[in-house]
Structures are given as structure tokens and as C-alpha cells.
């Protein structure tokens, strides 16, 4: 078996509908440049809006107007302001460092990456994936691949680089077609991107953008990293049997019996995937470290007379807000402690210098994101300075209220729009940073919580990942397939994944609509509906 991949004619890939999608997507600039163009467009639009007197009014029973608004006789008014005005140009230049450092998603992600970088570089994530998947019984291989694939989002790139090819290898080792394993793993990792058993880095990242957007309407709104926990857990429960059925009943019969044999090279590769004694020791130590971190957080919330993570001055769920906010640090400490413990156990951490070096490398790897965050931060800030955010939200909410669309239909529309964008722009954070400032406050005025809007976006951002060759890891997965079958092309892989994508789309739309219809809790302290503060009414 060879890892080399044959040359594929560019003209072949450019044919048909998929070729048109690929050509169109390749014309799009880098996400950073998308925000540069958005900022330029926003500045021109703000000048036009100010010249034409764009405004929005809303009934408001609060005593003080929110930032950017004027309050008179119970009517709150927002007036468009040109970003070319003397005040805004001065603010842009004098507050540039403050705009970047005050961008909530940047600080949240950097804090978590300190711990996640150590856990990834010591090999903890890879060992967890290999140790769990390798011992899977043949009959339960597919559902286990599905669950691990959705959980492996915590492992970042390891989910694609380690988990997907390992799945193909293990399917081949038990006599099943390796492309079946690759398809199941790709469907779980990428198509089930919104699902997970526990919140993690992605929740922190997306809710950071949600918080920035929600504060256009409610300056006191604070993100809850657990705000989508029950929703993403339900995705795992719903998508796992779908992946199992499509893999075993549709994809595998279509591919037919695999004619390969478990030769010496394959046996050697399977053997290499086994955990070493040092890795097993590291996993045991990491498990103990996890218990210590979880126990410490539990003590800080429950210890009699000493509860820094509980606000005893408030009643009900509001008491838990410090606990939710502290979970950012909790994720970092959990990853860091488990990573250090695993590294000591398997010998990859020999001194404090090793840990510091890994943390440094983790921050260095965030360089492209920091560049992106600089422009995204200024787009969000300038959107607020122009007052176009609340104007669009209020007027949009009034239009939607007149149309009378039910809440499930509104959220399904967000889901559909994000899924279409996902065909061309792969970055979940790039799309949400641009969409959130409009859809989050608009839906808040319609009584839909920021957590529910975020959940609908996440669902739509998932299932089209495996339908587009523009997805950043698509060429890598294609190379994994060609290792086993050199005839596999772009169309072959898309045809392999299409049943998963269509099933996920139907199930995702139905799940999102049902969640709103039955008013189910999204996570601890997070509900579907939202009451605007201070009597703010659409």
C-alpha cells in the first residue's frame, strides 16, 4: 500500500455543478480580507445612512438609555452615525489597541489555548482517540467511531489528522472496507461538528461573538459556556444512530466487499496504533488530574461558608453566573493539568521548561487567528459605533413580527443561511462574527435567546462541511481515501458523504424546530426564550 496520490486533472474537477461551486469558492478572498472589505462597505453604508437619516425607535421603560441611544418620553431612538465622522475616526485611531484587547473572543480563546496546547502536544488527545477506538468491538465499531468523532472536536486538528485515517485502518484490519471507516469518521468529525458530549473550546469561541452581539441590546448579558450543553449532547444522541444506519446499510453495501488483506504492512500499522505502557500510565495520571480539577471547582461552588463561584446576593439561576464565567479558566486548568500529568507519565514532560515551551508554541499557532481577530474586532466595534446594529435589529424585528413567522421558522432560516454560507466559507468563527451582530439582537427583540440563536447557527454550520470541496480538510480526507483506492476523486468522496449530509440536514432542521416548539432548556441556566431588559419591545 502506498501513500502517494495520483495526479488529478484540474479540468476534471472543474466540470459540472461541483466544479462551479469549487470555482466560485476559490474566488473568495481569505477570511481576513473578507472583513477588510466588510469594514470598507460598512463605512460607506454608515455615511449613506447618516446622510439619509436612518433611525429606529422602540418603547423603553428603563430610566437610562443604552449606549448610543437617546431616550425621550419613553421612546428609545437610535440614529445612524457616519464612521467618517470626526468622533469615530478619532476613536478608530486612538482606541485601536483597546478595540483588539477588548474583543471578548480573543481573550477567551487565548486563555483556553494555554491548556489545550499542552494537552495536544504531549499526545494526550491522540492517545485518547487511539486507545478508545482500537479496542472497539467489530459489531459496535461504527457507533463508537460516531461518538468519538464528535467528541474529538476537543482535540482540534488531531480529529482529522489522527482519527479519520485510523478509522480507515481499523476497518481494514477487521476485514471491512477502509473507505467505510473514513466516511463514518469524516461524517462524525465534520458533519457532526455541532455535537459533543461536553462543552469545550468551540463553545467558548462562538459564545464570545454571541456576547459581543447580545450586548447591543443588553449590555449586562454575559456568556454561559454551558449554554448549549443539552443541545450539543442531543446532537450526539441523534446523529449517532444516523451515522450507524447510513454507514452499515447504505455506504458499505454500495462499496461492496473489500478485496484487500491484512498484510504485514497493515498489521504493523495497526500495531503502531496500540498504546504504549508509558501512554497508559500517562492516561491514568491524567484521569487523576481531571478528578482533582473537577473536585476543586466543585469545592469552590459548594464548600460551606466559602463559595467564590456562587453569587449569594442573587436568587435562582443568577447565583451560578460566576461559576459559568469561571468555566473558561476551568477548561484551561483541566487541559493543562491533564496534559502535564500525561506528559509526566509518558515522559514527554521532563521539566517546567517543556510545559512553557508547549504553551508558547500553542500561542504561536494562534497567530493567524490573532490577525483575523484584529479585523473582526474592529468590524464589530465599528458596527456598534455606526448604530446600524440596533437599527437593523429593531427594524428587522418589526418586519418579522408583521410577517408573523413562528419562532421555529425564524431559527430554521438562520440554520439554512449558515449552511449555505458554509459551502463557501469554512471558518465557523468568521461566519458567526459577521452574522451575530445582526441576527442575535434582532432575535432577542423577538423573544429568542442568544443561546438559541447560537445553537441554530451551529447546527447549520455543520452538515454542509462534508458537502463542499472547499472545506479546508477535504483534500486531506481525499488523500486518505486514495491510499486505499487510487480511483477516488472529488466527486467520489462527495457522493460517499452526500447521504450523511442530507440526513443530518433533515434531522438538524427537525431537531431545531422541535427544540423551540417544546421550549426545551438548552443548557444549565439557558432557555429558548428571552425577555428584553428595561421594557424593550419590538
Q: Which domain holds residue 516?
A: 10-535
- Rounded to the nearest integer, the mean pLDDT of the chain is 83
DSSP-assigned letter for residue 63 = S
Q: What is the percent of the chain where pLDDT is above 90?
A: 33
Work out the pLDDT band at 230, boundaries 50, 70, 90. Answer: very high
Question: Is residue 357 assigned to a domain?
Answer: yes
Identify which has the larger pLDDT, 322 or 453.
Answer: 453
Q: In the Cβ-directed half-sphere of 379, how many Cα atoms lie within 13 Å?
A: 28
pLDDT on residue 5: 40
What HEC string does 416-456 produce? HHHHHHHCCCCCHHHHHHHHHHHHHHHHHHCCECHHHHHHH
Sign, CA torsion 472/7/273/146: positive
Q: How many domains does the chain have?
A: 1
Identify which has the larger pLDDT, 221 or 270.
Answer: 221
What DSSP element (H or E) covers 55? strand 55-59
DSSP letters for 231-282: HHHHHHHHHHHHHHHIIIIIIHHHH--------HHHHHHHHHTSPPHHHHHH
Burial pattern 424-456, b for ≥16 Cβ within 10 A else e, equals bbbbbbbbbbbbbbbbbbbbbbbbbbbbbbbbb
pLDDT at 29 over 70: no
Q: What is the percent of the chain where pLDDT is above 70?
A: 86
Question: Is residue 5 assigned to a domain?
Answer: no
Instruction: List the alpha helices (DSSP H) in 53-95.
Output: 86-94
Identify which has the larger pLDDT, 375 or 261.
Answer: 375
Of 166, 143, 202, which Cα lies nearest the Cα of 462? 202
Of 92, 85, 81, which Cα lies nearest the Cα of 391? 81
Looking up cell 506528559 gives 343
Sign, CA torsion 232/237/238/240: positive
DSSP-assigned letter for residue 72 = E
Question: Is residue 228 assigned to a domain?
Answer: yes
User: What are 37-50's pLDDT values in tens digits?
Assistant: 989 999 999 999 99
pTM passes above 0.95: no
Question: Is residue 471 assigned to a domain?
Answer: yes
Of 62, 57, 91, which Cα lies nearest the Cα of 75? 57
Q: Which residues does 30 contact at the CB level (< 8 Å), separation at least 6?
A: none
pLDDT on residue 18: 46
Question: Is residue 84 assigned to a domain?
Answer: yes
CA–CA separation, 494 and 507 (whole Å) = 19
User: What are 361-392's pLDDT values in tens digits?
Assistant: 988 888 888 888 899 889 888 988 998 878 88
Question: Is residue 1 assigned to a domain?
Answer: no
Looking up cell 496546547 gives 117
Question: Is residue 374 assigned to a domain?
Answer: yes
CA–CA separation, 225 and 223 (whole Å) = 6
Quick one: average pLDDT of 325-329? 82
CA–CA separation, 145 and 182 (whole Å) = 10
Identify which has the larger pLDDT, 266 or 309.
Answer: 309
Question: Is residue 273 assigned to a domain?
Answer: yes
pLDDT at 30 over 70: no
CA–CA separation, 248 and 142 (whole Å) = 8
pLDDT at 6 over 50: no
> Which of helix, strand or coil describes residue 502?
helix
pLDDT on residue 9: 38
Quick one: average pLDDT of 408-433? 80
User: What are 119-149's pLDDT values in tens digits?
Assistant: 888 988 778 877 777 667 777 889 999 998 9
Q: In the Cβ-directed half-sphere of 68, how many Cα atoms lie within 13 Å?
A: 25
pLDDT at 16 over 60: no
User: What are 473-510's pLDDT values in tens digits?
Assistant: 787 788 888 888 888 887 788 888 989 999 999 999 99
> Which of helix, strand or coil describes residue 71?
strand
Amino acid at each position: 500500500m502506498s501513500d502517494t496520490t495520483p495526479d488529478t486533472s484540474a479540468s476534471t474537477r472543474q466540470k459540472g455543478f461541483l466544479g462551479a461551486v469549487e470555482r466560485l469558492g476559490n474566488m473568495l478572498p481569505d477570511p481576513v480580507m473578507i472583513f477588510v472589505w466588510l469594514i470598507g462597505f460598512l463605512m460607506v453604508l454608515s455615511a449613506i445612512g447618516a446622510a439619509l437619516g436612518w433611525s429606529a425607535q422602540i418603547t423603553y421603560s428603563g430610566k437610562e438609555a443604552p449606549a448610543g441611544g437617546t431616550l425621550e418620553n419613553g421612546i428609545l431612538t437610535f440614529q445612524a452615525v457616519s464612521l467618517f465622522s470626526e468622533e469615530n475616526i478619532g476613536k478608530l485611531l486612538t482606541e485601536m489597541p483597546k478595540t483588539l484587547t477588548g474583543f471578548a473572543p480573543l481573550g477567551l480563546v487565548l486563555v483556553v489555548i494555554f491548556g489545550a496546547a499542552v494537552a495536544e502536544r504531549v499526545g494526550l488527545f491522540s492517545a485518547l482517540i487511539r486507545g478508545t477506538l482500537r479496542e472497539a468491538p467489530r459489531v459496535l465499531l461504527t457507533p463508537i467511531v460516531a461518538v468519538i468523532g464528535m467528541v474529538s472536536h476537543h482535540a482540534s486538528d488531531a480529529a482529522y489528522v489522527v482519527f479519520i485515517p485510523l478509522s480507515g485502518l481499523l476497518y481494514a484490519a477487521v476485514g471491512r472496507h477502509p473507505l467505510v471507516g473514513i466516511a463514518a469518521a469524516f461524517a462524525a468529525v465534520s458533519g457532526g461538528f455541532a455535537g459533543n458530549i461536553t462543552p469545550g473550546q468551540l463553545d467558548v469561541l462562538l459564545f464570545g461573538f454571541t456576547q459581543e452581539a447580545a450586548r447591543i441590546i443588553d449590555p449586562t448579558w454575559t456568556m454561559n459556556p454551558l449554554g448549549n450543553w443539552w443541545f450539543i449532547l442531543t446532537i450526539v444522541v441523534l446523529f449517532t444512530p444516523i451515522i450507524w444506519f447510513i454507514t452499515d446499510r447504505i455506504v458499505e453495501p454500495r462499496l461492496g466487499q473489500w478485496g484487500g488483506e491484512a498484510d504485514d504492512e497493515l498489521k504493523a500499522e495497526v500495531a503502531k496504533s496500540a498504546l504504549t505502557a508509558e501512554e497508559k500510565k500517562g492516561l491514568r495520571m491524567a484521569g487523576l488530574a481531571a478528578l482533582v480539577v473537577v473536585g476543586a471547582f466543585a469545592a469552590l461552588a459548594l464548600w460551606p461558608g466559602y463559595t467564590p463561584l456562587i453569587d449569594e446576593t442573587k436568587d435562582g439561576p443568577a447565583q451560578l453566573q460566576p461559576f459559568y464565567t469561571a468555566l473558561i479558566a476551568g477548561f484551561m486548568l483541566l487541559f493543562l493539568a491533564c496534559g502535564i500529568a500525561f506528559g509526566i507519565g509518558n515522559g514527554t514532560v521532563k521539566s517546567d521548561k517543556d510545559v512553557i515551551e508547549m504553551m508558547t508554541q500553542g500561542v504561536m499557532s494562534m497567530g493567524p487567528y490573532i490577525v483575523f481577530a484584529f479585523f473582526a474586532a474592529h468590524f464589530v466595534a465599528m458596527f456598534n459605533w455606526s448604530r446600524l446594529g440596533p437599527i437593523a435589529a429593531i427594524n428587522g424585528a418589526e418586519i418579522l413580527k408583521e410577517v408573523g413567522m413562528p419562532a421555529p421558522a425564524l431559527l430554521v432560516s438562520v440554520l439554512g443561511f449558515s449552511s449555505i454560507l458554509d459551502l463557501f466559507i469554512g471558518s465557523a468563527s468568521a461566519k458567526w462574527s459577521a452574522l451575530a451582530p445582526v441576527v442575535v439582537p434582532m432575535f432577542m427583540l423577538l423573544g429568542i435567546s442568544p443561546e438559541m440563536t447560537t445553537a441554530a447557527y451551529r447546527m447549520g454550520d455543520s452538515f454542509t462541511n462534508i458537502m463542499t470541496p472547499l472545506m479546508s480538510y477535504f483534500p486531506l480526507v481525499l488523500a486518505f481515501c486514495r491510499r486505499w483506492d487510487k480511483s477516488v476523486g472529488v466527486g467520489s468522496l462527495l457522493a460517499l458523504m452526500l447521504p450523511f449530509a442530507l440526513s443530518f440536514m433533515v434531522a438538524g432542521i427537525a431537531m431545531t424546530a422541535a427544540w423551540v416548539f417544546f421550549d426545551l432548556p438548552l443548557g444549565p441556566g439557558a432557555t429558548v426564550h428571552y425577555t428584553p431588559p428595561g421594557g424593550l419591545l419590538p
